[in-house]
Amino acid sequence: MNAGPHSGPPPARPVASSVIMRILQVQHARFISRVFGGRRGLFWAAAALVAVSDQLTKHLFMVPDEASARAMVLVPGFLNLLKLPLSRGNLRAAFSWGPDWPVFYIVLTLLGLCLIGWLFVTTPPTRLRPYLALGLVCGGALGNLIDRIRFGVVRDFIDAHWMDWKHWPTFNIADAGICIGVGLLLLEAILQKEGNEAAAPEDSRAKGRQKGDAEPSAAKCSRTR
């Protein structure tokens, strides 16, 4: 009896295809570990936490019209949470600076996110504070970017003040994340500079000791000649 066209063992997978698949799997695992593993995972966690909490709180404190607007006292004399309509959103940047051009702030935010991406790639993976700071800034930038794309304005609802007298400009979770992240980056720069300055004298002393050890050896060699 003749074998049918589909009988017999299946054709073996080419060796080259198996090798390519294995290489792709290894490279994919390395990429995931490099981007999300170790301390870099803190970047993604901080960014997601700020962006999600920002959008959630903005949704909770947005009301449909001006008649529904009201203030909720969180800390008497210091902090209120405002329920405001979208019509009272912030069209400009922080402290109402800048032009009334939503596209301008969208482009500016995208450029800022590109800078954050470059810092993420170039920062050594052994350092913790820069990844936390960059994640906070990234999450805040994304939170406000979503507002500008969806509504053309940024929704603010946190009213910090001093005894109902001096009010800080109204802000949101995204703004707080950006400010804290920038503060951490400045602190990291200061600490790194101080560390480099403290290490410089020690390096000079070490070079001096090496030079001092080398001179007697050179003199001894010259005497033996």
* 99 in a structural domain: yes
Domain for residue 211, yes or no? no
**Can 175 be counted among the known catalytic residues?**
yes
Residue 126 DSSP symbol: T
- Of 156, 159, 164, 213, which is the active-site residue? 156
203 is catalytic: no
CA distance 157 to 176: 12
- Encode pLDDT of 39-87 as tens digits: 899 999 999 999 999 999 999 999 999 999 999 999 999 999 999 999 9
Answer yes or no: is 7 within a domain: no
How far apart (Å, rounded) are the C-alpha atoms in residues 134 and 43? 6
Residue 17 lies in a domain: no
Per-residue pLDDT of the chain (225 residues; tens, 9 = 90+): 455 555 555 555 567 777 777 676 666 566 565 666 678 999 999 999 999 999 999 999 999 999 999 999 999 999 999 999 999 999 888 767 788 888 999 999 999 999 999 999 999 888 899 999 999 999 999 999 999 999 999 999 999 999 878 889 999 999 999 999 999 999 999 998 887 777 666 555 656 566 655 555 555 555 555
In-domain check, residue 217: no
Q: Which domain holds residue 125?
A: 35-203
Render the burial of 21-56: b for 16+ CB within 10 Å, e for the rest: eeeeeeeeeeeeeeeeeebbebbbebbeebbebbbe
Phi, psi of 158 (to 5 degrees): -95, 120
Q: Report, in angstroms and rounded to the nearest whole number, the Rg of the chain calculated over CA atoms.
A: 29
Catalytic residue among 54, 175, 203, 213: 175
Number of domains making up the chain: 1
What pLDDT is attached to residue 222?
54
Asked whether residue 179 is domain-assigned, the answer is yes
Does some domain include residue 61? yes
One-letter amino acid for residue 178 of the chain: I
Stated pTM of the model: 0.76
Contact present, 159 and 79 (Cβ < 8 Å): yes
Q: Which residues pair with 212 in a beta bridge?
A: none
